[in-house]
Chains A and B, each alone.
Chain A
Amino acid sequence: MIYNITHRTLYQYSSGVALCHNEARLLPKETAWQLCRPSQIRIRPRPALSAERLDFFGNRVLYFAIQDVHHRLEVTVVTEVRVLDERPFHESSPSPSWEQVRRMLWEDLDPEIIEARLFALDSPFVAAGPQFRAYAEPSFPPDRPLLEAVADLNQRIYQDFKYDPHFTTVATPLDEVLRERRGVCQDFAHLAMACLRTLGLAVRYVSGYLETLPPPGQPRLIGADASHAWLAVYVPGVGWAEFDPTNDCMPKTQHVTLAWGRDYGDVAPLTGVMTGGGSHSLKVSVDVAPQVEAAIKKAKAAANEAHIAPEP
């Protein structure tokens, strides 16, 4: 699948911002199953300075600074991404038992496996705890193949929890999510990760986009989509198996990967520190348009332009 992704962020401030430094993780990363054309980046007002680098996790980070007084900040990133159906795992992939996976993770001396242990440790947003073990246990009977067990946990979270965008914020503790049985994609990913880390497995947080399937007969709602989040569990020697607890599925071609890390804190799409600004409001819109539709739109736009263009 080829998508045209448009991610637009708009901050409006009650008083002028004299100086701001920002980091954007809005440029999708290249993976074995995902190819990206160069992104178009539009930042208004224009930054005095910007620089792109790869971070510790291999994500693309765009640093920029705006040094003139401004009352709004608009960041728009447009990227064409091709997602191949070549992720290393799918629903029916075989896998060793979860205990065996854990043993390999902690005992194997392969450099890649050693490095993956970073993702088995507690991180600021996702720390192991007995409550998570209790929740995970029914999905993890002895000797169950890892992927089957995680898929079961994934499904249980999907069934037990209510998707409620009004309930949580970035700062809602995981305990509260577990107690209240509600949250958003980020909370569900964090919860599943906490369960798996408590069992001694390596998991990472994946941020990205999702093509929302329209109900039959209705056009897809443009701009209604938001950034999405899911998780991946490490299978030593093979790779990372992705699970999306918000949709009870394993990502295939409808999930576009933006960045990954130990938890949300490593991949927040836009962070910044500013001087001034007073209070602020935020608007985010994401559009994930399949290429076919995009092509039509482009053609229409071209036609319009041709129509209104003055005769030579």
Chain B
Amino acid sequence: MSEAAVAFSDPPQLPGDRLFSDYPVAATGYDEMYSAPGILRPHWQDMARFLEGVGGVELERRYREIQRLLQADGVTYNTYDDPHGSQRHWLLDPVPLLMTGEEWTGLAAGLEQRSRLLNALLADLYGPRLAIRHGWLPPELVYAHPGFLPACHQALPSNGRWLIFHGVDLARGPDGVFRAYGDRVQSPSGAGYTLENRIILARALPMLYRDAPLRRLASFLETERATLTRLARHRSENPHVVLLTPGPSSPVYFEHAYLANYLSLSLVEGEDLVVRDGRVWLKTLGGLRPVDVILRRVLDTFCDPLELRGDSLFGVPGLLQAVRNGHVALANALGSSLVENPGLAVFLPLLCRQLLGEDLQLPSLPTWWCGHRADCDYVLTHLDSLVVRSILPASPYWEGGQLDAAARGQLRDRIQAAPHLFVAQAPALLSTAPVLEDGRLTPRPVMLRGFVVAEDQGYRVMPGGLARVSSGLDTLQAALQKGGISKDWWVLAPTPQRHVSLLRQAYGPIVVTRDGSDLPSRVADDLFWLGRYVERLDGTSRLLREALGRLLEWEQDNTDERCLDDLFEALDILVPPVAESPRARFFALRQALLELIISAEPVGSVQTIVSGLLRTGRAVRNHLGDDIWRLLNRLQQQLQELPSDLGARQARELLEEELMLVAAFSGLNNETMPHHQGWLFFDIGRYLERVLRTLDLFKLAFITARNPGLPLWEVVLTITDNLTAYRRRYRSALHPTAIIDLLLFDEGNPRAVGYQLRRLHRHIGRLQPPSGSPYRSAEERLILEAITTLQLADIPALATLSHDSARSSAELTRLLDAVRAPLLGLSDALTHSHFSHAEVPQQLITMRP
């Protein structure tokens, strides 16, 4: 979108030169930009000059532009499930965090060594366990951590790599030294956000990024892709790599979809995979397709219900056995979450010497493990100056200094009851970096997450990473839930570097594919429902808009409002009981209609339809174009920003806009999604929903209406957006026979049942038969029945409908019901033939301690 299209409100008047004024540099801390008050660090000078040139006012403007771009791209952290909910948009500060190349080289060496060390540790602990047997690492620290999974013992071949992706949380102390305070290996999220940050900033500040002397990120992601490919040792050409996600409910689902797209991996959920013949397969429309490598973003205990967690049904039964067979590789290997244990920090220097024969380069925050008596005594007597953590995953932490005496006593008891489960860390004193606030730069504490990926020999470190502004030692999740701001972390290079996008690279020979038969069955299912929701939203919004319009006309001009009863019927809501005064009736009707827009209660409300739309949309994120995705975000935003005192007129405007968005959505999807299997399911969903709604509307208007006649017929034409078409064709008063022809039999009118059935018939015929059977499938037979019934209709018998002829009414009823019946079975038939992954596995015995 061009900048001209964006209307900014006037920024507050700020003198541009205030950007750098009042930047308080703390006497004791380390500031990334200033080495002393008034003295810029040399590598910040160009940046400072640039920022000064831009000025605080303009920078604020760019900041808003950045947030708008992020929002439009749907960069989010929390979940989408609750349309009113606490979903947070990703916030990005416009000022990058700079680091010199030399400084980074030192840090990168430390990170590379840390990854090698943790990999060696995993290989040892799931193998000979020398670290334990020789006493380098206390057994309690390992065995009491739930990340230690006995089932993974010797699960990898002896030269197998355990650690492929590694995220390290870093803090720079007042002495300028970086220290690690956490390792992320289960789902080391952030690399995708980092990339998106870079892309968005480059869009918002093009003159800064075009020729900036900074190390680019693309080659790191290229390495990720190459490493994943190489993990498929038994299949060197075109291995099938998938990204396994917990699904749209994951807080970082955005990143999963983003990375899958960027690295061209299939985005799959556990239920999409199955183990047969000792190897992993993806269930697709065209049958089972072998999977060679799994980039795993699912907790390891949720990966295999057979061996890893007896009380869970998540995951892929038999996966670990497939790993043992060597037929599939996981990144990271199952069992690797063991090294997220914060207590390991105490033992890393010794382990590094023993396992690698090297001195540990990257120090950790000072850490005490309470399983050592001396450490425990120290921790118990210095509680007020330490941060206490449990070694168990996802546990809270306690800042001793913040606790009152009673809470401190409780904490002491907890530690003493199971000392080996607790560690204490010195509080991290974070360095500060400039953050834009109200048009001026303010020093704020920052924490960094570095990323490492395995390559052929050793590991490769991302030149940069995720910087975030924080108030304490939160986890990434906690920081973001409190509304953290991220920053782009630059590593400076001696000369400007060309921007390389991964999307233009090819990786070896490619198998050209077009028919989409490798579409996961679940995705086909979700696309089908996406289509249904889109059309449902369209239909309901049209009815609501019409009802609100009639209501307002009645209020203003005292027009005939009786057809409102029938509109309520069509919307499937109760007409409020007759009120004493017209005024009271107006309010009651209005209330009922508004409820149907904003309330999350009734199943057919706009809110619930939009939730369904967003849920299925997110589940097929990778199959929708970016512009479509922006439309979905707009739709959600629109509903989130509803005023609490919504009026009828406002509601109608809202529905107008929403209908535009829905139309844009359908149109764009038709224009951008290749018309293969996936699109067919989307379109079948849309037209099935539409034809069912049209049939219902027809039956209401001509058979069951309480107040039949002209006003209602007009409503039907308006709702189907066919009033103009009718006028052009007949230029006369409304006649039921003509309406029926236009909306029932016309095979060229997309709003007519005849057209809709033909389209369904054509598209169902193009679906790939999963069984390969030469006979017509159940869904083909059903659509054939519906279309034939309509085509064989006794049209003359319907001609007398306008004369209230009982025979015509009966004939129309029979026809509508006979067309409708097979269509009702269509959804189930499709599910049975194409989406039959639905069956959930169960445990032979339930073991729940």
Please report A residues at the B interface, Cβ cutoff 8 Å: 11, 18-23, 48-49, 51, 53, 55-57, 63, 65, 67, 109, 111, 114-115, 117-118, 121-122, 124-125, 170-171, 263-266, 268, 270-277, 280
Contact = CB atoms under 8 A, between A and B. Distances in A.
Contact of A56 (B139, B150, B325, B846): B150
Given A20-B844, A21-B275, A55-B150, 17 more contacts: A21-B306, A21-B318, A51-B321, A51-B324, A55-B151, A57-B150, A65-B318, A114-B135, A117-B140, A118-B139, A118-B143, A121-B144, A170-B845, A271-B306, A272-B845, A274-B842, A277-B842
Nearest to A21: B318
Contacts of A268: 310, 845, 847
Contacts of A266: 150
Chain B, interface SS category: loop
A55 B153 contact: yes
Interface of B: 129, 132-135, 139-140, 143-144, 150-151, 153, 274-278, 305-307, 310, 313, 317-318, 321, 324-325, 839-849
B305 to A, nearest CB: 5
B305 A273 contact: yes
Contact of A265 (B317, B839, B841, B849): B849
21 contacts: A21-B275, A22-B306, A48-B276, A51-B321, A51-B325, A55-B150, A56-B150, A56-B153, A114-B133, A121-B143, A265-B847, A268-B847, A270-B845, A272-B844, A273-B313, A273-B841, A273-B842, A273-B843, A274-B844, A275-B841, A280-B844
A56 B848 contact: no
A277 B842 CA distance: 8
Q: 3 closest pairs, A vs B, by CB?
A: A272-B844, A56-B150, A111-B133
Contact of A18 (B313, B318, B839, B843): B839
B849 A124 contact: yes
Contact of B139 (A11, A51, A114, A276): A114
Nearest to A116: B139
Given A121-B140, A265-B310, A19 B842 contact: no
Given A53-B324, A65-B318, A274 B139 contact: no
Contacts of B277: 48-49, 67
A109 B134 CA distance: 8
B845 A271 contact: yes
Contacts of A53: 324
A49 B150 CA distance: 23
Nearest to A117: B139
Contacts of A115: 129, 132-133, 139
Given A23-B307, A171-B846, A65 B153 contact: no
Contacts of B849: 124-125, 171, 263, 265
Contacts of B306: 21-23, 271-273
Nearest to A171: B848
A22 B310 contact: no
B393 to A, nearest CB: 15
Contact of B132 (A22, A114, A121, A124): A114
A304 to B, nearest CB: 36
A49 B277 CA distance: 7
B726 to A, nearest CB: 53
Nearest to B134: A111
B308 to A, nearest CB: 11
Given A21-B306, A23-B306, A57-B150, A271 B276 contact: no
B146 to A, nearest CB: 10
B487 to A, nearest CB: 42
Nearest to A11: B844
B150 A21 contact: no
Contacts of A109: 135
Contact of B317 (A21, A121, A171, A270): A21
A152 to B, nearest CB: 27
| Of B139, B305, B325, most A-chain CB atoms within 10 Å | B139
Of listed B277, B318, B844, B845, residue having the most chain A CB within 10 A: B844
Contacts of A274: 841-842, 844
Contacts of B135: 109, 114
A235 to B, nearest CB: 18
B462 to A, nearest CB: 35
A271 B139 contact: no
Nearest to B305: A273
B839 A271 contact: no
A273 B315 CA distance: 11
Nearest to B126: A56
A301 B85 CA distance: 74
Contact of A65 (B275, B839, B844, B848): B275
Contact of A271 (B140, B841, B843): B843
A270 B844 contact: yes
Contacts of B129: 115
Nearest to A48: B277
Contacts of B841: 273-275
Nearest to B146: A124
Contacts of A264: 847
A244 to B, nearest CB: 22
B310 A271 contact: yes
A56 B151 CA distance: 7
B283 to A, nearest CB: 12
Contacts of B845: 170, 268, 270-272
A290 B325 CA distance: 38
Contacts of A263: 849
B556 to A, nearest CB: 61
* Residue of B305, B321, B324 with most chain A CB atoms under a 10 A cut-off: B321
Nearest to B149: A56
A22 B139 contact: no
